[in-house]
Structure 1
C-alpha cells in the first residue's frame, strides 16, 4: 500500500479521500504506466472449492478488490473507464466494509466488469458449489422469453411475462449490470441461463425463497406456475444447455444436391485433428458432388481459435482477405502468461491483406459462401462473419450477433487471491477490416431474419428455409 500512496503525491494527496479511493485514483490517473505492484496469476482452483455459503471478511474482499483493480488497470486497453466511474468504484469499497457472502461479493465486483462493455473481460460466471437452479428451458427471442421444450410444468411455446415479479425489460436492465457485453444480444443469449441461478434470483429479488413464480401465457390465457429450485446434480442439463433454437437441427454437416448446398455446423472453433478432418471431409464432399453453395453455420458458436477461419477458407478459391488489425496493451502480466515483452505501452498492427494458403490443393470450392449468425455468435465466430462481410466474400444471414466486430479480446486469466474466483481481462482491441463500420455494436447480417415462435416450437430453420427459397438468386448474383 505504501507504493500506491507514493504514486499519489502532489495534487492528489491534497484531496481528502479514503484509502480505497486512493487506490482507485492510482488506477485511474496513473493509467498507461505500470503501478509497480505487478499482477499475480494464481492456479485455478476446483469449482467445488468456492461454496455459495462461504463468507468473506472486509479485509479479504479489499485485498481481492485491490488486486482486481490493479490488474485491470495494468492489462486492459481502455485506460479511462475506471476514472470515469470512480463514484461506482468508491461505492463498492463502501459496500465491502461489512462481511458478506461470496455471492454478494461476486455481484459487487460484477458491476466493475460491466463498465467496460467488453464481453471478454468478466468474472467467472460458473455456479457456486451447493447452488441450486431452476430447471426451465428458456429462449429469449427478439421480442419475448419463451419455453423451448415440454416439461412437467411448462409446454413448449409458453410465453414468459414475468419471473419472480419482474418483466423482461426489468430483467434485461438487471442483467446488463452483471453480464459484460457490447450489446443486448449477448445479454439475452447468456442471460437465460444466468437468470435461473439461485444466487442471481436472490440478488434480484432480495428474497431467499424455495420456489419462484413464473407468470406465463399459454394458448392466449395467463397462468401462474411455481417452480422449485433443483440441486444441480438433479437438473436436466440437456434442457439447460438448450441455448438457441438451432442447436439440434444439423449434425456436423449435410449436403443437399437438390438445392445445391452444403451446410457445415460449426458450434465451436477448436483447431485440432478432428476439426481439420471434418473440414476437409466437408469440402471434399461439396466439391466432388458439384455443390454450388456452402453455408457456414456459426449460430451456436461462441468462439475459440481464430485459426479455424484460415483452416476453413483455405479450401476456397479466395486469393486472400483483409484481416483484423489490433492494439495490444503490453504489461508484465502479458509477459508472464504469453512470454511477450515490449518497452512500449502499446503495440499497433494495422489490418493487412492475408494470403490464402490454398495453393497446395488441386480442388478448391469456387461457389457462393453464406454464413449463418445469431445472437450467440461471439468472438472468433464473429470474426468469420466479419471477414466474409467486410471483404465481400459472401452473404451473412441471421440475427445481429452478440459481439461487436471492433471489440476488446484475447484475454489473460487471473484468480482473486482470497476468494479464488477466476476472472479474465482483455489485453487487445481488435479492429475490423473495414473501419468505416467499426462503431457498430454487432455484426449486422446482410439479410436479417428472426425466428418466430412457430419456427422455434416446430424446430423450423427460418434461415435455411430462406436460403432454399432463394438459392437460385444467390447463385446467379455476381
Structure 2
C-alpha cells in the first residue's frame, strides 16, 4: 500500500507541477473501464479536433500526462478523477479549451478578487455580518496555496483569467476536495479577516443554491447603499441609463448575444432615440462582465457610434477587466481601433492573440462537459498577454466600502 501511495503522489506532482497531492480514497463504485474511456475520448478530442493543441506543450508530454492519469485512476475517488482530467485539459495552455467541473452542491459564499485580496461580497442572509471580510485560508491552507492548486485546473493564458475564475471555483466543494484543498467533500473551514483585523473561522457545509426565495442572499453595500455599477443588473445581457447630470450615456454589455427580451437591433434603436435628444457628451460601454459569445452581435451599436460621431477622442470610453474575455475582449479591441475608444480599468482575462471559435463535447460516463478551440485569432502586434487599458484602475475594496465606482468617476471627470 505504501508503494501505491508514493507512486500516486509522484504522478500527480508531475501532472500538476504544483506541489499538490490528492488523498488516496477511491470511491466504492469505481468503474475503471468507463473512466478510462472518458480519458481516452478527452485525449482524442484534443488531439484530433483542436486546431493546434500542442503549441504550449509537446504532444509527447501531453500523452505522458494522460498515461500517468490512466495508471492511477483506480486509486482515485470521483473528485480526484474530475480534477485530474481538468488538469490534463488545462495543461495545453489554451484558455478556450476547458473541462467544466461538476457542481451539484456548493459553498454558498460568493467571493471577488480585488486589488487588496479575495473578499466575501455575497452570502445567505443569515451570514450577512461576514460581508466585506477578506479570505485568509481554507481548512488551514493559506490562500496563496489554495490559489496555486486551483490554477492547475484553470485553462488560462494570463493571470487575470485566473483571478476571474478562482472565486467561482472556491464555491465548488467537490473540486476543492479533489485538489486536497479541503479534507471533506462537503464541509470546510473558511478563515476570514474582518475590516478591523479580527480573524473568524467559519464552518461551512455545501448545499444547493437557494432558489426563488426573496431576499435569500445579502450583498455587501456601503452606508450609502451603493456599489460599483457593473454589479447592478449584471444578469441582463445589456441595458443602459442616461446620467443627465453628467451628460453621460452608460451602456452595460454583459453577454455577446441577442437578449430574448430585446434584440440588439431594438436595443440599438432605443439608444439612438436617447442620442437624438442631444443631451449626451460621452458614452461609456461597460465590458467588465463580458466573457464572450458572438462578437458580431454588437455591430448595430458599433454603426451607431460611428454614425453619431462618437469617434472624437474623449467621447467614448470602454471599461474592461479580468472577466473581459473572448468576444467581449474582441469588441473592446474593435471599439478601440474603429471608434477611438479609451480603455479604462484593468488588463483583460482574454489574450488578444489566441484560440477560439469553440465546439463543445461531453464525456459520457462522468457526464463532464467541455469545449475546444477550432480557430486562431490574431488581433495585436507582438504577443501581449492581455488587452491593456489606456488608464489602469484596479477594482478595490474601497469602492465597496465607500459606495463608489472609480472607473465611472474617472470618465465623468475626464475633459472632453
Instruction: Report the TM range for the smaller structure's normalisation.
Output: 0.7 to 0.9
Q: CA RMSD in A?
A: 2.8
Q: Secondary structure at the match of 1:60?
A: helix
The within-5 A match list for 1:410-421 is: 410-421=357-368
1-structure distance, mates of 2:375, 2:388: 23
What residue in structure 2 maps to residue 103 of structure 1?
79
Question: Counterpart of 1:62 in 2: which secondary structure?
Answer: helix
Aligned with 1:222 (options 176, 198, 216) = 198
Question: Could you say which residue in structure 1 is the equivalent of 2:37?
Answer: 63
Q: Shift of residue 109 of structure 1?
A: 0.7
Residue 124 (str. 1) matches residue 72 (str. 2) = no
2:371 corresponding residue in structure 1: 424
Residue 133 of structure 1 pairs with residue 110 of structure 2:
no
Gaps of 5+ in 2: 1-26, 221-226
The Cα shift of 1:228 comes to: 2.2
Give the structure-2-normalised TM-score: 0.80
In structure 1, what is the Cα distance between the partners aligned to 2:99 and 2:310?
42
Aligned-pair distance for 1:206? 5.6
d(CA) in 1 for partners of 2:76 and 2:126? 36
| 1:463 corresponds to which of 407, 410, 416 | 407
- Secondary structure at the aligned position of 1:450 is classed as coil
**Equivalent in the alignment of 2:255:** 268
Contact 2:283–2:317, Cα closer than 8 Å, also in 1? yes
> Which whole-Å deviations, capped at 9, do the CAs of 1:69-123 have from their partners, x for residues lacking one?
1111112122433334443222112122x16443322111111111122221111
- How does 1:30-179 map onto structure 2 within 5 Å? 55-80=29-54, 81=57, 82-96=59-73, 98=74, 100-128=76-104, 132-149=105-122, 151-153=125-127, 154-179=129-154
The alpha carbon displacement at 1:187 in A equals 1.7
* 1:266 Cα offset (Å): 0.8
**How many residue pairs align between the two structures?**
368
Q: 2:344 aligns with which of 385, 397, 401?
A: 397
Q: CA deviation at 1:126?
A: 4.3
TM-score, scaled relative to structure 1: 0.70
Q: Give the CA deviation at 1:271.
A: 2.7
Per the alignment, residue 332 of structure 2 pairs with: 385
Q: How does 1:168-317 map to 2 (within 5 A)?
A: 168-203=143-178, 204-205=180-181, 207-208=183-184, 211-234=187-210, 246-248=230-232, 252-271=239-258, 273-317=262-306
Determine the C-alpha separation between the residues in 1 that align with 2:346 and 2:195: 27
Relative to 1, partners in 2 of residues 1:309 and 1:60: Cα closer, same or farther, differing over 3 Å? same
- Tell me if structure 2 keeps the 8 A contact 1:182–1:404: yes
Secondary structure in structure 2 of the residue aligned to 1:397 = strand
